Amino acid sequence: MSELNDMTDQVTLSEKQKQLIERVGVQHEKAGFSPAAARVVALLLVSPVPELSFDQIRETLGLSKSATSNALNFLINTDKIDYITYTGDRKRYFKSKISSWRESMKDAIIKITGTAALMEEILEQRPDSTPEFNKSLSEVIDFMRYINQELPALYEKWEKRNT
Amino acid sequence: MSELNDMTDQVTLSEKQKQLIERVGVQHEKAGFSPAAARVVALLLVSPVPELSFDQIRETLGLSKSATSNALNFLINTDKIDYITYTGDRKRYFKSKISSWRESMKDAIIKITGTAALMEEILEQRPDSTPEFNKSLSEVIDFMRYINQELPALYEKWEKRNT
DNA sequence: TTTATTGTTCTCTTTGTTGAGAACTAAAAA
DNA sequence: TTTTTAGTTCTCAACAAAGAGAACAATAAA
């Protein structure tokens, strides 16, 4: 697949696409991703070719091997990306896990449940001398649990609406 | 309010409360707060006395003045806390903004709208050659918008349920 | 066996974050 | 006016995060 040295596994991107990768990247940085990992998820969403090799990612984003390796492993561990292989090709082709967004939504909901539980612990040890405060806390907890309970039905409704 | 030097504006907390502050603090660190800011919001949720002065916060959490000042200002700027004053007392008493959780929810929903818009931009520039991928992207966008649209009604339903 | 491919891991530098402590400031009190 | 109160801001040190580049490893190909 290379005569002496290819040296250009780079993916061709328009200016618009490059800029979009940066914007989506920044959004992910705000969610706690490292700059490198944020650019990688972004690239895998924006790239016209959705399955990219280690070197395609590295060269397109201008990252070092270590940064690329660490970013890819982090994203695999946190279920943001996945990879596939092809017989007779040792490379791994990395791809966004956007297709399993339903699972991600479920995980996000589980997190809300955890927050509600922690809030409940706070509420349980609060004195009766702060009724207003306690009421607010109790409301948030109740609302979170309500949302949690209603979301599956809402999802079904959406699923049916889209035939 | 002090004869020469009080030196103990500290809030008395049980072991359980201290531990809870740490756990709630860590949760907020994961959401991007600095350790100091995370402990301050946590303290203001757990403390039996819900309105605390600068020095009560500083001494209870064992923070420096600069860390306390920066944390409080950050939390005020991001609408996580608020303060009240009392006539004839120059101190500000800081309190959690948990009571305005309805506003926070609205803000969270606005953020989802922003994400959907960014995703839409990605979708718009994608080639037709990746129909599966594009479909997933389109689904997430549509689902986010659906949730967004249905949430107000869901909120009303919750509000009525609670008489 | 030797060489090439596909990454991983280690070390080191750069950069950024966190917060302590002291100096400073503005307003009120004495 | 001088002092006290209630914080803010500055400087600095300790520490952590990010990533570059080189060395290394594991497997496959020649």
Distance CA B47, CA A115 (A): 18
Mean pLDDT score across all residues of chain B: 93
Q: Which residues touch strand D (CB under 7 A)?
A: A 34-37, 62-67, 70-71, 88, 90; B 1-2, 53-55, 65-66, 68-70, 72-73, 89-92
Is B8 within the bounds of a domain?
A: no
Domain shared by B33 and B57, yes or no: yes
Q: Which of B96, B115, B146 is the last residue of a domain?
A: B96
Q: How many helices (H) and strands (E) does chain A have?
A: 6, 3
Q: Helix, strand, or coil here: B14?
A: coil
Per-residue pLDDT of chain B (163 residues; tens, 9 = 90+): 333 344 578 899 999 999 999 999 999 999 999 999 999 999 999 999 999 999 999 999 999 999 999 999 999 999 999 999 999 899 999 999 999 999 999 999 999 999 999 999 999 999 999 999 999 999 999 999 999 999 999 999 999 998 7
**pTM, whole model, 2 decimals?**
0.92
Domain shared by B70 and B109, yes or no: no
Confidence class for position A7, pLDDT limits 50, 70, 90 = low
User: To 5 degrees, how large is the angle CA A116–CA A118–CA A121?
Assistant: 110
Domain shared by A42 and A57, yes or no: yes
Is B56 within the bounds of a domain?
A: yes
Domain shared by A74 and A110, yes or no: no
The DSSP string of B108-128 is HHHHHHHHHHHHHHHHHTS-T
Element (H, E) at B77: helix B65-77
Q: Which of A96, A112, A143 is the last residue of a domain?
A: A96
Cross-chain residue pair A137–B98, CB shorter than 8 Å: yes
Domain shared by B79 and B40, yes or no: yes
Q: Beta carbon of B62 within 7 Å of strand C? A: yes
Distance CA A59, CA A105 (A): 32
Distance from the Cα of residue A111 to its chain's centroid:
14
Task: Give tens-digit pLDDT for A85-120.
Answer: 999 999 999 999 999 999 999 999 999 999 999 999
Domain shared by A31 and A79, yes or no: yes
Domain shared by B88 and B108, yes or no: no
Statement: residue A3 has pLDDT above 60: no
Domain of residue B79, CATH code: 1.10.10.10
Which residues on A lie below 8 Å from B24 (Cβ)?
118, 122
Is B1 within the bounds of a domain?
A: no
Q: Which of B76, B96, B116 is the last residue of a domain?
A: B96
Distance CA A110, CA A116 (A): 10
End-to-end CA distance of chain B: 45
Confidence class for position A162, pLDDT limits 50, 70, 90 = confident
Domain shared by A108 and A139, yes or no: yes
Evaluate the CA torsion angle A143, A145, A150, A154 in order and state its sign: positive
Indicate the pairing of strand A89-96 with strand A81-86. Answer: antiparallel
Is A162 within the bounds of a domain?
A: no
Q: Is A86 on the interface with B (CB under 8 A)?
A: no
Domain shared by A56 and A121, yes or no: no
Give whole-number Cα distances, B18 to A143, B22, B24, in Å. Answer: 27, 6, 10
Domain shared by A125 and A91, yes or no: no
Domain shared by A21 and A80, yes or no: yes
Q: What's the confidence (pLDDT) of residue A4?
A: 37
Is A22 within the bounds of a domain?
A: yes
Q: What's the confidence (pLDDT) of residue A9?
A: 87
- Mutate which of A147, A149, A163 to disrupt the B interface (most B C-beta within 10 Å)? A147
The answer to whether A97 and A81 are in contact (CB under 8 A) is yes
Question: Which residues form the domain of B91?
Answer: 15-96
Domain shared by A109 and A152, yes or no: yes
Task: Give tens-digit pLDDT for B103-115.
Answer: 999 999 999 999 9
Which residues on A lie below 8 Å from B146 (Cβ)?
154, 158, 161
Q: How many domains are contained in chain B? A: 2
Is A44 within the bounds of a domain?
A: yes
Q: Is B86 on the interface with A (CB under 8 A)?
A: no
Task: Give tens-digit pLDDT for A51-87.
Answer: 999 999 999 999 999 999 999 999 999 999 999 999 9
